[in-house]
C-alpha cells in the first residue's frame, strides 16, 4: 500500500515538475508602425499562461501565433498606424530553431507600396522577435514561400530580422 | 419471458437511452431553444452548433459562422491540432480562445467563458454567445428567433485644449445622422444598432455638459439616440467618419479627425518623438552640431551606450516617473545625422530610440529592464551613458542631470571598458561607411524608373506610377549627362524590364543585373508611393545596405530642402532592388499619389523637374564635384 502510494506520488511529482517551463511571460509586447512609416510603438497584451498539457515548445508556438495575429490586427482603429491590408490575417505559425514561420492570408498581396510593405513587415518582425529565442520571421502566404509579394518591393525569400529595417 | 429475453430488453433499453442521450447532447442548441439566428435581416444557418453546459457552442468550421464573420468584417485563425482559436474583429480587437481553458481575451480584457472550448470530431468549438458579444452583437430573442443585434460599442468624449470630440463606435458599419440641433441640445441617431450603454452622464467643460443615451425601435430594427446637452455658445462641426464604424464630431473647434487621447503611447519621451514624427518637422537645423552615431556594448558593470557628437552642444537627461524604468537624454542644438532608429539593446537595455525630437534636439530614449542606475558623462567624442544595477559600479544615483559636450568636456572621458557580447551599432563608425566597392565604371549611374509595362505600380486618380517614374528618370538623365555623367536606364519606354507579367522577383533582379553587369557607380530607383488612405505624404529615400547610407543621406537632404515637401527621412528596408545592387543604391519614393497635395505635385511637370534636379544635386554632393572622383565620393 505504502509502495503504491509512493509510486503515485512520484508519478505525480514527475508529471508536475518534469514539464519544461515556457520562456514566454504573461505579457507580450506588440509593436505597430506609426504613420511616419518607420517608428515603432510598443504596447503590451496579456498572454495566456502555459496550460498543464501544453509543452514549452507549444506555448512558444502559440505565443508566436498570438503575437503575429496582434501585429497584423494592429492597434484600435482610432489610432493612426500603418496597417496591413484589410482582411489580412495569420493562418498559422510555427517555430523552427530561432525562426518563426508565419503564414499570412492572401490579402497581404494587396499592393501597399514601399511605405506600406516596410511598415507592415517591420511591425510583424519587431513583434515576433520580441519573444524569447526568436530572432527571425519567415513569411509564407497561403502556405507558399515567395521571393517578393506580387508587384512588391521587399525581399521575402529569406527570414526577416530586425536589422533589415 | 426467458432470462435471456429479459436481459436483451434491458440491454436494448440501456442502449436506447444511451442513443437518446447522445442525440440530445448533439441536437443543435438553436433547434432546442429557438428557430434560427438572424443577423442583418437574414437567417444564418449554423450547422456546427452544439450545446455545452446548456450554452451554445459553435464549430470554427461552421459555414454560418464564416458568413457571419465576413458580414462583420472579422477573420478567424484556427488549424486542426491547434489549441488557440483567434478571431480578429473589425475594430480591430483580437478575441483569443484556447481549447481546455475557460479564460478568453477580448483585446486587453481577460474574461471567463461559461465553458472551455473543446474539440469534437477534430474541430474546435467555442462559446457562441461570448464570441458574438465580443463582436459587439447582442443575442436577443424575438419570437422563435434569436436576433444578433449590433450594438453601439462605445461612446467616448475626448477633450483637447478648449475643444472636445465625441467618438461613437459599433461592430458594424453605422448609419448616423443629426436629427435635431438647437436649444442647447444636439441629438444624434444611430440607426440599426441597439445599446447597453443606456445612461446619462455628466461631462465637464469644453462645451459638453451631459450625454443621454437611449434606445428605441424593436429588436430587429433598433435605434440608439444620443442626446448631447451643450453649454451656451458651444459650436460643433459636422458628424464625420472615415469607415462608417467610427463617427466623430468636434466641439469648439476641435477637429473630429485629430489624434485621440487614447493613443497608447505612454511616455513623455515617446509622446515628444511621436509629435515630431507625425507632424514631420521642417528640414533639420543646420547648427553644425550633429549626432553622428550611437552604439552600445555590454560591459562588466552593465551596459554602455556611446553617442558620437560632432561640435558643441548641451545635454540633459531624465528618468520618467518610477516605476517606469525609461530614461531619455536630450542633446540640444544638434541635428540627427543618422537614421532615426528603434532598436533592441542588449543586456539590461531593452530598447533604444533615437529621434530628432524637436527642431534643435536629438533625443536618445532608453527602456531598461532590471537595472536602474544610470550615469551620463561627456567624452571626447560625445556622450557615454552607463547602465548598471550596482551603485558601487558607477558613482551615481541621480535620476536627472545635464552638461555640455565639446572642447571643454574633452577631459571627462569615460572609464575604459572592454566590450563583450551583445554589441550593436546604429550607424557606421567614421570610416566604416567607406566600403570596398570599386565601380568598374566610376562615371556610370544607373537610373531605374520603377514599375513599367504590365506593372503600372500605384494607380490613383488617373495617374500611373510607371509613367511618372519614367518621366522623372528621363529628366534626371538629362541633368546628369549635362554634368558629364554616363547614364544607363533600366528602361526608357513603358515596358517590363524582364518580361510582361513576370514575377516581381524576376523584374527587380533584371534591373539589378543591368547595374551590376555594367559595374555602375550608383543605382537610383525612382518610385511614387501610395497607401490605403490619404494620410501619408512626403518624400522618403529608402536604402538597404550600409554602403547606401551616405548616398541616401545626401540625396534625401537635397530632396527635403529643394522640394518644400515633407521630409520623411531616410528609411532602411529590405528592398530587393537596393539590396541586390552591388553598388551604393537608393530607392526614392518621391511623393504619395494617394495624398491630395502630393498628387497635385506629382501631376506638375515643373515639380517633377525639381525632383530630378534635387536627386542630381544629391548625387553631386555624394560624389564630390567631379564625376569619377571616388576619393570624394564617400565610398
- Which of B458, B535, B575 is opposite residue A35, by nearest beta carbon? B535
Most B-contacting residue of A153, A161, A164 (CB-CB within 10 A), to test interface: A153
A107 grid coordinates: 490579402
Q: Whole-angstrom Cα distance, residue A95 to residue A67?
A: 13
Give the B window 559-618 contacts with A, CB below 8 Å: 568-569, 571-577, 579-580, 587, 589, 592
3-state helix, strand, coil in chain B (%, to 5): 25, 40, 40
What's the sign of the alpha-carbon dihedral B67, B69, B72, B76? Answer: negative
Yes or no: say if A124 and A134 are a contact pair by the CB < 8 Å rule.
no
Q: Whole-angstrom Cα distance, residue B296 to residue B423?
A: 6
Which residues of chain B make contact with A46, given a CB cutoff of 8 A? 105, 108, 110
pLDDT digit string, tens, across residues B480-504: 999 999 999 999 999 999 888 888 8
Give the B window 340-399 contacts with A, CB below 8 Å: 340, 342-344, 351, 353, 355
- Which of A45, A115, A164 is opposite residue B108, by nearest beta carbon? A45
Alpha-carbon gap: B51 to the closest alpha carbon of chain A (Å): 24
Q: Report chain B's terminal Cα–Cα distance, integer Å.
A: 105
- Contact between chains at A39 and B273 (C-beta distance less than 8 A): yes
- Give yes or no for B71 touching A (CB within 8 A): no
pLDDT digit string, tens, across residues B91-135: 899 999 999 999 999 988 899 999 999 999 999 999 999 999 999
* A133 Cβ contact list (under 8 Å, min separation 6): A23, A60, A98
Alpha-carbon gap: B496 to the closest alpha carbon of chain A (Å): 12
Q: Whole-angstrom Cα distance, residue B309 to residue B289?
A: 7
User: What is the gyration radius of the CA atoms in chain B, in angstroms?
Assistant: 32
A23-37, A142-156, B317-331, B431-445, range with the lowest pLDDT: B431-445
pLDDT digit string, tens, across residues B272-302: 332 222 222 233 333 478 887 777 776 766 7
Question: What integer pLDDT is reported at residue B210 of this predicted model?
Answer: 87
Question: What integer pLDDT is reported at residue B357 of this predicted model?
Answer: 74
Which residues of chain A make contact with B246, given a CB cutoff of 8 A? 77-78
| Residue B123, CA distances (Å) to A89, B8, B83, B120, B586 in order | 20, 36, 11, 5, 50
| Residue A8, CA distances (Å) to A2, A4, A51 in order | 10, 6, 22
| pLDDT exceeds cutoff 90 at B311 | no
- Give yes or no for B94 touching A (CB within 8 A): yes
Closest residue on chain A to B507 (Cα):
A151
Give the B window 517-536 contacts with A, CB below 8 Å: 527, 529-532, 535-536
Alpha-carbon gap: A4 to the closest alpha carbon of chain B (Å): 30
Over B399-448, what HEC string results?
Answer: CEEEEEECHHHCCCCCCCCCCCCCCEECCCCCCCCCCCCCCCCCCEEEEE
DSSP state of B497: S
Q: Whole-angstrom Cα distance, residue A70 to residue B186?
A: 37
Closest residue on chain A to B525 (Cα):
A153
Mean pLDDT of A122-130: 95
pLDDT digit string, tens, across residues B560-606: 999 988 888 899 999 999 999 999 999 999 999 999 999 999 999 99
- Contact between chains at A37 and B536 (C-beta distance less than 8 A): yes
Q: Which residues pair with B172 in a beta bridge?
A: none
- Contact between chains at A77 and B455 (C-beta distance less than 8 A): no
pLDDT digit string, tens, across residues B172-231: 777 888 999 888 899 999 998 998 776 787 776 678 888 889 899 999 999 999 998 888
DSSP state of A162: G
The helix-helix angle for A113-128 and A56-73 (nearest 10°) equals: 150
Q: Whole-angstrom Cα distance, residue B178 to residue B406?
A: 62
ipTM for the predicted complex comes to 0.89
- Contact between chains at B531 and A115 (C-beta distance less than 8 A): yes
The structure's pTM equals 0.71
- Contact between chains at B535 and A80 (C-beta distance less than 8 A): yes
The helix-helix angle for B465-482 and B605-623 (nearest 10°) equals: 50
Which residues of B are the active-site residues? 589
- Contact between chains at A77 and B77 (C-beta distance less than 8 A): no
Residue B316: band (very low, low, confident or very high) from pLDDT cuts 50, 70, 90? confident
A98 grid coordinates: 530561432
Amino acid at each position: 500500500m505504502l509502495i503504491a502510494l509512493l509510486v503515485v506520488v512520484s508519478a505525480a511529482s514527475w508529471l508536475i515538475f518534469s514539464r519544461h517551463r515556457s520562456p514566454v511571460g504573461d505579457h507580450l509586447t506588440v509593436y505597430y508602425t506609426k504613420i511616419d512609416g518607420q517608428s515603432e510603438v510598443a504596447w503590451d497584451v496579456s498572454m495566456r499562461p502555459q496550460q498543464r498539457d501544453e509543452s514549452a515548445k507549444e506555448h512558444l508556438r502559440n505565443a508566436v501565433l498570438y503575437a503575429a495575429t496582434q501585429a497584423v490586427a494592429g492597434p484600435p482603429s482610432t489610432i493612426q498606424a500603418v496597417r496591413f491590408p484589410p482582411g489580412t490575417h495569420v493562418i498559422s505559425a510555427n517555430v523552427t530553431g530561432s525562426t518563426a514561420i508565419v503564414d499570412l492570408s492572401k490579402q497581404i498581396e494587396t499592393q501597399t507600396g514601399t511605405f506600406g510593405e516596410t511598415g507592415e513587415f517591420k511591425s510583424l518582425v519587431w513583434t515576433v522577435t520580441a519573444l524569447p529565442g526568436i530572432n527571425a520571421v519567415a513569411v509564407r502566404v497561403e502556405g507558399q514561400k515567395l521571393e517578393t509579394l506580387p508587384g512588391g518591393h521587399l525581399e521575402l525569400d529569406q527570414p526577416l530580422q530586425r536589422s533589415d529595417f | 419471458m426467458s432470462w435471456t429475453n429479459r436481459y436483451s430488453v434491458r440491454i436494448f433499453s440501456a442502449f436506447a437511452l444511451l442513443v437518446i442521450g447522445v442525440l440530445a447532447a448533439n441536437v443543435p442548441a438553436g433547434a432546442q431553444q429557438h428557430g434560427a439566428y438572424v443577423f442583418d435581416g437574414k437567417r444564418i444557418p449554423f450547422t456546427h452548433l452544439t450545446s455545452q453546459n446548456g450554452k451554445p457552442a459553435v464549430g470554427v468550421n461552421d459555414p454560418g459562422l464564416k458568413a457571419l464573420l465576413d458580414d462583420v468584417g472579422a477573420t478567424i485563425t484556427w488549424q486542426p491540432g491547434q489549441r488557440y482559436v483567434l478571431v480578429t474583429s473589425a475594430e480591430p480587437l483580437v478575441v483569443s480562445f484556447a481549447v481546455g481553458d475557460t479564460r478568453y481575451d477580448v483585446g486587453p480584457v481577460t474574461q471567463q467563458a461559461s465553458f472551455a472550448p473543446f474539440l469534437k470530431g477534430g474541430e474546435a468549438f467555442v462559446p457562441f454567445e461570448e464570441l458574438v458579444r465580443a463582436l459587439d452583437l447582442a443575442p436577443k430573442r424575438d419570437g422563435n428567433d434569436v436576433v444578433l443585434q449590433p450594438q453601439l460599442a462605445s461612446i467616448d468624449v475626448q477633450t483637447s485644449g478648449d475643444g472636445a470630440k465625441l467618438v461613437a463606435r459599433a461592430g458594424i458599419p453605422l448609419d448616423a445622422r443629426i436629427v435635431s440641433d438647437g436649444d442647447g441640445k444636439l441629438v444624434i441617431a444611430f440607426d440599426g444598432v441597439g445599446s447597453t450603454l443606456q445612461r446619462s452622464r455628466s461631462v465637464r467643460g469644453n462645451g459638453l455638459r451631459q450625454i443621454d443615451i437611449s434606445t428605441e425601435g424593436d429588436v430587429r430594427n433598433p435605434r440608439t439616440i444620443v442626446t448631447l446637452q451643450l453649454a451656451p455658445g458651444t459650436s460643433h462641426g459636422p458628424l464625420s467618419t472615415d469607415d462608417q464604424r467610427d463617427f466623430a464630431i468636434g466641439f469648439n473647434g476641435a477637429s473630429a479627425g485629430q489624434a485621440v487621447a487614447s493613443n497608447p503611447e505612454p511616455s513623455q519621451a515617446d509622446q515628444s518623438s511621436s509629435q515630431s514624427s507625425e507632424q514631420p518637422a521642417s528640414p533639420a537645423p543646420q547648427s553644425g552640431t550633429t549626432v553622428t552615431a550611437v552604439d552600445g556594448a555590454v560591459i562588466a558593470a552593465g551596459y554602455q551606450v556611446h553617442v558620437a557628437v560632432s561640435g558643441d552642444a548641451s545635454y540633459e537627461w531624465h528618468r520618467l516617473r518610477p516605476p517606469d524604468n525609461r530614461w531619455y537624454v536630450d542633446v540640444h542644438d544638434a541635428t540627427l545625422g543618422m537614421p532615426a532608429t528603434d532598436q533592441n539593446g542588449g543586456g539590461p537595455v531593452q530598447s533604444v530610440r533615437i529621434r530628432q525630437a524637436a527642431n534643435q534636439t536629438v533625443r536618445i530614449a532608453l527602456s531598461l529592464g532590471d537595472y536602474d542606475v544610470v550615469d551620463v558623462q561627456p567624452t571626447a567624442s560625445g556622450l557615454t551613458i552607463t547602465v548598471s544595477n550596482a551603485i558601487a559600479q558607477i558613482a551615481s544615483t541621480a535620476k536627472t542631470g545635464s552638461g555640455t559636450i565639446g572642447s571643454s568636456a574633452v577631459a571627462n572621458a569615460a572609464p575604459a571598458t572592454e566590450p563583450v557580447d551583445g554589441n550593436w551599432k546604429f550607424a557606421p563608425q567614421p570610416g566604416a561607411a567607406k566600403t570596398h566597392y570599386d565601380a568598374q565604371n566610376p562615371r556610370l549611374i544607373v537610373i531605374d524608373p520603377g514599375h513599367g509595362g504590365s506593372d503600372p505600380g500605384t494607380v490613383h486618380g488617373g495617374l500611373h506610377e510607371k509613367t511618372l517614374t519614367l518621366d522623372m528618370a528621363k529628366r534626371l538623365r538629362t541633368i546628369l549627362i549635362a554634368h558629364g555623367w554616363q547614364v544607363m536606364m533600366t528602361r526608357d519606354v513603358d515596358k517590363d524590364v524582364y518580361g510582361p507579367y513576370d514575377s516581381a522577383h524576376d523584374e527587380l533582379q533584371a534591373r539589378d543585373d543591368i547595374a551590376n553587369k555594367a559595374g555602375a557607380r550608383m543605382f537610383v530607383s525612382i518610385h511614387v508611393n501610395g497607401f490605403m488612405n490619404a494620410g501619408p505624404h512626403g518624400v522618403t529615400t529608402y536604402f538597404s545596405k550600409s554602403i547606401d547610407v551616405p548616398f541616401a543621406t545626401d540625396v534625401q537632404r537635397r530632396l527635403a530642402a529643394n522640394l518644400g515637401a515633407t521630409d520623411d527621412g531616410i528609411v532602411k528596408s529590405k528592398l530587393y532592388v537596393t539590396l541586390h545592387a552591388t553598388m551604393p543604391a537608393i530607392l526614392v519614393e518621391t511623393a504619395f499619389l494617394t495624398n491630395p497635395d502630393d498628387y497635385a505635385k506629382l501631376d506638375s511637370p515643373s515639380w517633377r523637374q525639381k525632383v530630378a534636379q534635387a536627386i542630381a544635386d544629391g548625387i553631386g554632393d555624394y560624389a564630390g564635384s567631379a564625376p569619377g572622383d571616388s576619393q570624394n565620393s564617400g565610398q
